[in-house]
Amino acid sequence: MVDFIGIERIQELVARRGVARFIEELAGEIEADFLRWGVFDKSPRHATHSPLGVIELMPASDGRLYAFKYVNGHPKNTAVGLLTVTAFGVLADVQTGYPLLLAELTLTTALRTAATSALAARRMARPDSRVMALIGNGAQSEFQTIAFHHMLGIREVRLYDTDAGASAKLEHNLARLQLPDLRVLRCGSSAEAVQGADIVTTVTADKRNATILTPPMISAGMHLNAVGGDCPGKTELHPDILRRADVRVVVEYEPQSRIEGEIQQMGAAFPVIELAALLAGQAPGRGGDREVTIFDSVGFALEDFSSLRYLLRIHHEERGAQQQIDLLPDLDDPKDLFALLLPEPRKLAARPGVAA
């Protein structure tokens, strides 16, 4: 039997902790694993592209546990009532190869993306940052807002999306959460939203080289949390922002980010810092209050490894609707797999005077 976490169980686990606490605990798990960077078997994710989207497999292993995530990205799905991103994942025991957990990762991916964003921003944004612009108000936006409000003390979030309905949805959900000391402003353009912002989070969905931010929008000292560009041919920042003399760029895993991140627009010699080095104190998050910092986040398999390990632990800690599924055969003789397909042995009918 394999532990299983579906949508109902993840809702239960998050509800017991609260979204903000769940994100902060998950950020701690992610940081702990990035600090073990050298022990992980790492590779860029395997992507299968089509005109409408991408399907990806994301593996990682520390030699004791192995994890992978299946995830898609189809921006036009929302037009037919489907999610842009869906995901599930497996955590397995390396010694036996047996899976330990099968889990939903659609909600969890949004939670871990927000956790990683806030984790990086704590090292890169100015400590007095209180205003965040949020460009792209779709499925990721609430998670990012909660993470930055809780973990960095953001007190004003300025919203913009080309779809006014998405901004209205976000505004409504944030009002229901009643986050203390958070002011929410809806803006009429990206330029209006970023004006006066300390942190700018871009989390748009279109699979194209978009120009969400241009050089005139960027002020000295800003931190850019660029989340939406996450596959070849999909970016959000004008390349001249990256070319600024006062810019510092952090990525999760350089070989993957060179293919998928904002830095795909730059040459192979363009300098970046990996998140593991930043978290380990091997590189500073910023060089001064006027430096522009960019977290070029595409999502990396190590974050999903951390998420699955965290889910399995709290799944066992918390009472509730714990489930297992019969994903694997249970055999008396491990060499006799075919026995599972044989009919049950027939029982002899009892005869008079003879015990059945």
d(CA 101, CA 97): 12
Q: Which one, of 18, 30, 230, lies nearest residue 116 by Cα?
A: 30
Residue 59 burial (C-beta neighbours within 10 Å; 0-12, 13-18, 19+): middle
d(CA 173, CA 179): 10
Record the tokens describing residue 61, joined without a space.
């292993």
d(CA 22, CA 93): 25
Query: 3-class SS at 337?
Result: helix
Name residues whose C-beta falls within 8 Å of residue 126's C-beta, 6 or more positions apart in sequence.
198, 221, 223, 286, 289
d(CA 309, CA 331): 27
Query: Of 230, 246, 332, 333, which residue is the catalytic one?
Result: 230
Residue 230 catalytic? Answer: yes
Active site residues: 230
